[in-house]
Chains A and B, each alone.
Chain A
Amino acid sequence: MKRKSMIYAFMVCLAALLASCEGGAGVESTLTLSADKASVTVGDKVTFTVKNSGIQDVTAASGIKCVQTGKSVPGAEFVAESEGEWTFVAEYDGMKSNEVGITVVAPVVSQFRKHICLMEFTGQWCAMCPEGATTINFYASQIYPDVLHVLAFHNQDEFELPQEAEFSKKFKFGGYPGYVADMKYYGLVSSGQFSEDLKKASSPAGLHCGIALSSSMANGKADVSIKVFSELSSKYRLAVYVLEDKIVAKQNMSGTYREDYTHRHVVRKMVSASIAGDDLGLIEAESEKTADYKITLDSSWKAENLEVCALVIGEDGCVNNMAACHLDGGNAEYDRITNQ
C-alpha cells in the first residue's frame, strides 16, 4: 500500500512541476501563494496564505518576502507603506511558490472631515443599556464632538423598527447594548473593542466624499435635499433616517423600570428603500449629485427634537461619510477641513 502511494505521489508531483514549467494551465504548483487583495491604498493591509499541494495551510511555517526589496513579511501580513507594484514569493520546506503581485496606490487625501455613523442597538427591556448610552454619550460629547452621530435602533419595544432585525442579522453584534460603526465595525458597547473601533471609524483613510443637506417642515411633512460631492469616480448609495431625540419613556435600569428615562437619538423611520441605501449610481471625480426626499411624519413625534441623517455608502457597503441636521429648518453645509 505504501509503495504504490509513493509512486502515485511522485507522478502527481512530477506532472505538476512539468506542467508549471511549461506554463500549463489548470494544475496547481506544489506551493501556492495567494493574497486577499490585489490592489490596496497606502496604509492598507494585505494578508497572504500559503498552501502546500492545495490542501495543507503552511502559512505560519512559510517565509514570505518581497521580491523587490528582499524584506520578509512577518506574520503573513503586509502593510503597504509606499506606492508601486510589489511582488511577493513564499518558501517552505525547500519549495518556492508562485509570485503574487500587489498594486499599492496613493490614498486620496480628502478635503472633508470624517463623520462617524454609530448605530446603537438597545431596548427598553435591556437593564444594561442605560450604561451603554452613558458610554456613547461620553464618546459623542467628549471624544468625537460634532462628528459622531448616534442612531439608536430599538429591539422588541415600543420604538422597534424592522430595520433593527436586519442589522442584527447582518452584523451579529452579539448582544445588547450593541453597536455598528460605519456599517463596518461591530460588537458590544461594553467591550474594549468599542473604543478601538471608533478610532478606526474616525480615520480619514479611505474617505472620498462630503455631504450637505437641508431640511424644512410644513403640514406634517418634511422636504430634505441631500448633496453628495465625490472626490473620485465611484458608485454610492444613500441611506436616510429620521430620528427623534430626548423621548421620555420607560426603561429598565439595572433591573428596575422607571418611567422618566430620556431616550436619545431614537430612529423613527427609514426613508430610503432599504438599509443598503438608495442607489445614487456613479458620481464622477470632483462632481456632485443631489437627492431629494419628501417625508411624511407621525403627529406624535416632537418636531423640535427631530433630526435627519444621511449616510453615504461606498462600493464596499460601508458608510464612507455622513451628515445630520434638524428636520425643521436644519442645514448642514459641506464640512470641509479648511472651514476650521
Chain B
Amino acid sequence: MKAIIRLGILLSAVVMTVACDMSNITDPDDNGNVKYVGTDPDCYEFAMNAAEGNFNAKENGVSIQIGRVDRTNVVFTLLPGESIKSYRVDVYPKAILYNYLLEGGKIDASADEVEDYILELLTSAQGAGGYIFNYKDDAEDFPMKEFDWMNSNYAQYKLVPDCEYFITVAGCYDDGAMDVASLSISHFKTSTQPLVGNPQIGLEHQESYKAYLVTYVPNADCKYFYNWSYLAEEIDEYIDTFGETMMRDFMRCAVTTALDVTVQDNLTTLVSFSEVTSDAVFATVAIALDVNQTPAEHITRVDLSLKDIPEHAEKGDASVAINTSRVGATAAWFDVTIEATATAVYYNVVPASEADAVAAADSTTRAAYASELAYGGYGIRNENYHFDQENEKPDGQSFFAKNEFIIDLQPESEYKVAFCAKNAFGQLSDVMFSESFTTKALVLDNPDACLCNDDFVFELREPSRDGWKYYAEYNWDDMSMIRFQIVYPDVVDSPYQSHENPGSREELLGFLFGSSGAYDTPNANAWWALPSGVDYLAYYGFTSGQEYVVACCAEDINGVVGPVKLVHVTTKEIKPGANPKVSIKPSLSEDGSTITCVFEANEDTKMMKYFAADKTDQYFYTLSLDELFKQNSYLNYNDYIKSWTEWTILQGLQSQNLTSTGTYKVPTDKSPVLVCAIAIGEKDGEDCYSDLAHVIYYDGAFHDLSEYRTPPAK
C-alpha cells in the first residue's frame, strides 16, 4: 500500500509543481528571500531588491513578516535587527510608487538608484514620508511590532482588492531615523472575489474651449467607478510603461473613494485647463466596479481635444473709475464696467509704483501679471453676458458693478486698480490700470471731528444663552470703516482690565488697530461701509450668564477716527429644570430640494441635541427606516423611539440655545429623511430628558411615527 501511495503522491506532486505559477518564484537568496520579479509582461519592473512575501533582513535591517492579506487589509510584523534603533515604514501601492519612480526618471536606473529614490520618499517631510518608530520611545513593542495596517492610523493609501503593494521599511542606526542602514521591501497582492456580473462604464463627452464635460454611463452591474483625466500624452506614457492593469490600479489608489453610481452628482465631471492650448489632446479613463468594489478587467477611455478658438475671437474689455468722493485713509471705492465681450473681470489694488513698473514691462511680464490677477485677485462676473454658440461670438450686454471696494490700505499712499478681462474662450486681456488715487491721513487724535459721531449707532442686540447680534447703523456718505472687538473678560493683550480700569483711548485704539499672534492677525473685526447704511451679524459660542464688553470705533471717509464706544452685553443664564421639552417645526423649500427644521426648546432645557439622517448616513441602517414602511415588521413604536433617541444623543449636534435651525437636502431618489431632537434638563443634579421629537420626510410630505406604528397607551 505504501508504495502505491508514494507513487500517487509523486504523480500529484508533479502535477502540482507544474500547476504552480513559476514566473514569480525564484531561488531564495542567502537570507531565504524569494525575489520579487513581477508577473505582468506589459509592466516595466524597476530594478530593486524586493522580496515576494516575507523579507528576511540581516542584523542591519528590518525583517518583514506578512501575517495576513485579504481584499482590503494587510497585517504584518516588523522585526528590526540588532543594529537597528529606529525605522521608517510605509505601504505603497505599486501603481503609485512606480509613478513616483517614473516621474523621478528612474526607468533603466540601477537597483541602488531606485532604492535611493524610495528612501527619499520615505524620508520626505511633504506627505509621502513614512512613519517613524524607535526603541527609545517604544521599547516594549519595538523588537516585534505588529501592524494591522488599515485599522491603524498610519495608512496613507487605502488597500483595494486585486491590487499590488510594497511594504517599504528603512532601518536606521539612530533614534531619529535619519542614519539609514538598509531598505527592506516586501511585495504582496490583495485578494479578490469573483466579479459579480459584467460591470461596464461608458463615457460621453462635450468639449468647450478651455474645458470639457464628461458624463459617465454605468451599466446595471456597475455600482461604483473611478476616473482620471489628464493630458493624453502623460496617460499614454504611464500605460505604455506599466500596462492597463496598473492604470486601473493607479486610479483606485490615487483617488480616496470610489464613486457611487447612485449619486447623480458623481456622474459628470467638468475638466478645465486654463494654461493649455486648444491643440492639446486630453484623455479621461475610468474603471467600473461591481457591488463588492471588485474592478472590471479593462478600463474605458476617451481621447479628445478642446474646441479651436475662432480667428475672429475678441479679447474681453473693461474699465475702472475711482469714486473720488469715497477714498478714505484705509479704504477706497470704485466702479467697474465690464463690456459685452468679457465674461468676468479680475482686479486688485496695488501701489502705483508697482502698477507703473508693470505697465512699462514687456508683454510676457504683463501676461504673467494678468494670469496672477485671474488666479489670486478679486473677480466680478458679467451677469449680462451671453454667447452665441452657432456663430461663436458674444451677443449679450455690458455690466456695471458699482461700489466695489478695497480695505486695509496704508494711509497717505498712492494706489492704482490693476485689472484684466476674460472672454468666453478663456483668454485674458492685457493688464489694465485705473487712474491713481491717494489715501488720506489716518487721524487718531481728533475724535470730535469725526463726521460719523451724530449718526453712528453700534449695539449688541438680542442676547441669547451663548451669543448676540452685532448691529451697526450709520450715514453711508460719512462712514468708511467700523472696527470692533471683545475686550472683556479674559482677552489676551486687551487694555480693558476691569470695569474700573477700562484702558485709555490710546490703548484701546492701539488694540483695535493692532495685530497679534504668530501670524500677525488683526485684533479687530473690520466692517466696511455699505450703501444701505446698516449692517449686522450674529455671533455665538460664548459662555452663558456672562457679561462681555465690546470696544468699537468708526473711521470716517476723511480718515478721522471717532470716540471709542464701550458696549456691554450679558448672555442669558441657563437655569435647567426637571421638565425639558423640544419641538420641531419643519418646512420644505419652494423647489422641494431642501428641508428646514426649526428646533425650539423650553427654559428647563440646558441643552438640546438634534440630528438628521438619510440613506447616505453611515449608520442609517440602524434607524430601520426601511422596515417602517413594511406592513409586517417586528419593530414596534417603542423600538423606534428607543433607537432614534440613542442616535440623537450619540450623533446629534448640541446646542445650548433654545432655538436652532438645521437645513437638510432631500435625496434625489426620494428616500426618507429622519429628523430628531431631544432636550436635556436637570433634576436633583442629574440629567433628565424630554420625549423625543421627530419628523419623517417621505413621499413629498412630513410624517409622524404614529402614522406607521401604534404608540403605546398612556
Q: Is B216 an interface residue (CB 8 A)?
A: no
Q: Is A287 an interface residue (CB 8 A)?
A: no
Residue of A nearest to B67 (CB): A57
In-complex Cβ contact of B191 among A21, A61, A253, A257 (8 A): A61
Q: Give the shortest distance, in Å, between B68 (CB) and chain A (any CB).
A: 5
Q: Is A6 an interface residue (CB 8 A)?
A: yes
Beta-carbon contacts of A169-187 to B below 8 Å, as 1s and 0s? 0000010000000000000
For B19, what are the chain A residues with a Cβ–Cβ distance below 8 Å?
93-94
Q: Is A229 an interface residue (CB 8 A)?
A: no
Q: Which of A110-118, A135-143, A202-210, A220-228 contacts B (4 or more CB under 8 A)?
A: A135-143
Residue of B nearest to A253 (CB): B543
In-complex Cβ contact of B654 among A13, A55, A131, A139 (8 A): A131
For B619, what are the chain A residues with a Cβ–Cβ distance below 8 Å?
192
Q: Give the shortest distance, in Å, between B482 (CB) and chain A (any CB).
A: 25
Interface of B is mostly: mixed
Residue of B nearest to A258 (CB): B543
Q: Is A5 an interface residue (CB 8 A)?
A: yes
- Given that A10-B14, A10-B17, A60-B71 are contacting pairs, would A134 and B9 also be in contact in the complex, using a CB cutoff of 8 Å? no
A283 to B25 Cα, complex, angstroms: 55
For B543, what are the chain A residues with a Cβ–Cβ distance below 8 Å?
253, 256-258
Q: Give the shortest distance, in Å, between A151 (CB) and chain B (any CB).
A: 18
Q: Restricting to A1-29, which residues have a CB under 8 Å from any CB of B?
A: 1-2, 4-6, 8-10, 13-14, 17-18, 21
Q: Is B607 an interface residue (CB 8 A)?
A: yes
A142 to B66 Cα, complex, angstroms: 45
Interface of A is mostly: helix
Q: Give the shortest distance, in Å, between B560 (CB) and chain A (any CB).
A: 36
Q: Restricting to B43-64, which residues have a CB under 8 Å from any CB of A?
A: 53-54
Q: Which of B53, B607, B646, B650 has the most CB of A within 10 A?
A: B650
For A14, what are the chain B residues with a Cβ–Cβ distance below 8 Å?
9-10, 13
For A17, what are the chain B residues with a Cβ–Cβ distance below 8 Å?
9, 12-13
Q: Is B34 an interface residue (CB 8 A)?
A: yes
A30 near B16 (CB under 8 angstroms)? yes
Residue of A nearest to B622 (CB): A192
A257 to B541 Cα, complex, angstroms: 11
A139 to B67 Cα, complex, angstroms: 38
Q: Is B113 an interface residue (CB 8 A)?
A: no
Q: How many residues of B contact A (CB 8 A)?
A: 47
A104 to B678 Cα, complex, angstroms: 45
Q: Restricting to B166-213, which residues have a CB under 8 Å from any CB of A?
A: 191-193
A1 to B27 Cα, complex, angstroms: 9
For B191, what are the chain A residues with a Cβ–Cβ distance below 8 Å?
57-58, 60-61
Q: Give the shortest distance, in Å, between B538 (CB) and chain A (any CB).
A: 16
- Given that A135-B649, A192-B619 are contacting pairs, would A9 and B654 also be in contact in the complex, using a CB cutoff of 8 Å? no
For A6, what are the chain B residues with a Cβ–Cβ distance below 8 Å?
17, 22
B22 near A5 (CB under 8 angstroms)? yes
B687 near A141 (CB under 8 angstroms)? yes
Q: How many residues of A contact B (CB 8 A)?
A: 47
Q: Is A41 an interface residue (CB 8 A)?
A: no
Q: Is A214 an interface residue (CB 8 A)?
A: no
A9 near B646 (CB under 8 angstroms)? no
A257 to B489 Cα, complex, angstroms: 11
Q: Restricting to A118-140, which residues have a CB under 8 Å from any CB of B?
A: 131, 134-135, 137-139
In-complex Cβ contact of A143 among B69, B153, B646 (8 A): B646
Q: Is B149 an interface residue (CB 8 A)?
A: no
A188 to B601 Cα, complex, angstroms: 29
Q: Is A39 an interface residue (CB 8 A)?
A: no
A135 to B17 Cα, complex, angstroms: 60
B16 near A135 (CB under 8 angstroms)? no
A255 to B66 Cα, complex, angstroms: 44
A262 near B26 (CB under 8 angstroms)? no
Q: Is A194 an interface residue (CB 8 A)?
A: yes
A3 to B153 Cα, complex, angstroms: 45
Q: Which of A138, A174, A256 has the most CB of B within 10 A?
A: A138
Q: Is B518 an interface residue (CB 8 A)?
A: no
A128 to B192 Cα, complex, angstroms: 40
B residues touching A (Cβ–Cβ < 8 Å)? 5-6, 9-10, 12-14, 16-17, 19-20, 22, 25-27, 34, 53-54, 66-71, 153, 191-193, 541-543, 607, 609, 618-619, 622, 645-646, 649-651, 654, 680, 685-687, 689
Which 4 pairs across A and B sit closest by C-beta, in order of nearness?
Answer: A60-B191, A10-B17, A138-B649, A14-B13
A-B contact pairs, 6 of them (CB 8 A): A10-B14, A13-B16, A55-B54, A57-B191, A61-B191, A142-B645
